[in-house]
Amino acid sequence: MITLLIGENSFEIERALNVIINDFDGIVERLDGNTLQLSQLPDVLMGISLFSDKRIVIIKGLSENRTIWTVMGDWLSKISDDIHLVLIESKPDKRTSTFKTLKVNADVREFLPWEQRDIQKAEKWVQNEAENLGISLNKNSVQLLLRLVGFDQWRLFNALKKLSLTDDISINSITDIIEADPIENVFNLFETAVKGDMDKLSKVIHNLEKTEDVYRLVALLSSQVFQLAAVVTTKESDNVSKDFGIHPYVVSKLKSIANRLKISGVKKIISIFTELDDDIKISKAEPWLLVERALIKVATIKIIF
């Protein structure tokens, strides 16, 4: 039997792998595909263990080993009936002959990382995981947790385990216990700039400067601007959250900003961030200085008031 687990959602892949292992009574072997040698394939795929008639052979990252991946398709038909081969690949090249052969002959399961458009799936998952850990979370608490942590399931699961250690779970305790995801911090930074709070803006920028990569910060800020533009140009009857994959909570906050700025104000912000992007590309000044200057310009847009 052959199982191929692919995708960048390592949490779901690990869970799927654990189910396979827990349902199996035999020897489990784990191998690194990068270091596997062609000469080892006969023993790995056809050999018999002295301790068990059946084996699970788990190989991770084999597609990165071109020497073996190129010929792996020819070996699939030679795998012993007593061996369950499990291949784990994050981003295999689906154009290769080996992948095409696996697609026909293996149980292929793909696990994609969640995005903002997966909000309903994420909320349901958090609710179920919380119940499994003996935690009672209402809808507001679930949504707050997703805003703070984001959609990474490892971080969400670890956050839930932290909450399971406290007796009093509330909005305040979740905020105190769970560290906010950088995206949430960036949104707060953008919102502070739009509100024109200069003192707070300077403090937030200098705090982020200690922990954040400036280029990642600019990318996240630019994403906020794009989302704001989407919100301000759509009609009330449009489903912005679904159409653009934006968290409903973020949409509600952006609508509040859009109502203050109007289209003319959003156009000014787009112009400011276009200039910021150009200045960073030509290294016009130190990146953090350019970011601070751009946000100060946002904070002084007169139409806000």
HSE toward the beta carbon, residue 150, CA cutoff 13 A: 15
| Residue 113 confidence (pLDDT) above 70 | yes
What percentage of the chain has pLDDT greater than the value 70?
91
Q: Is the dihedral of CA 34, 16, 20, 18 positive or negative?
A: positive
Question: Quick one: residue 297, left, alpha or beta (phi over 0 = left, psi -120 to 50 = alpha)?
Answer: alpha
| Residue 216 confidence (pLDDT) above 60 | yes
Q: What are phi and psi of 30, to 5 degrees?
A: -115, 130
Question: What is the rounded CA–CA span in Å between residue 73 and residue 184?
Answer: 45
Q: Is 5 helix (H, G, I), strand (E, B) or coil?
A: strand
pLDDT in tens, 237-270: 667 767 676 766 677 777 878 877 788 888 899 9
Give the mean pLDDT of 180-206: 80
Q: Is 56 helix (H, G, I), strand (E, B) or coil?
A: strand
Q: Is 166 helix (H, G, I), strand (E, B) or coil?
A: coil
| Residue 52 confidence (pLDDT) above 60 | no
pLDDT in tens, 7-19: 999 999 999 999 9
For 255, residues 6+ apart whose C-beta sits below 8 A from its C-beta are 231
Helix (H) or strand (E) holding 27: strand 27-32
| Residue 21 confidence (pLDDT) above 90 | yes
pLDDT in tens, 136-146: 898 889 988 88
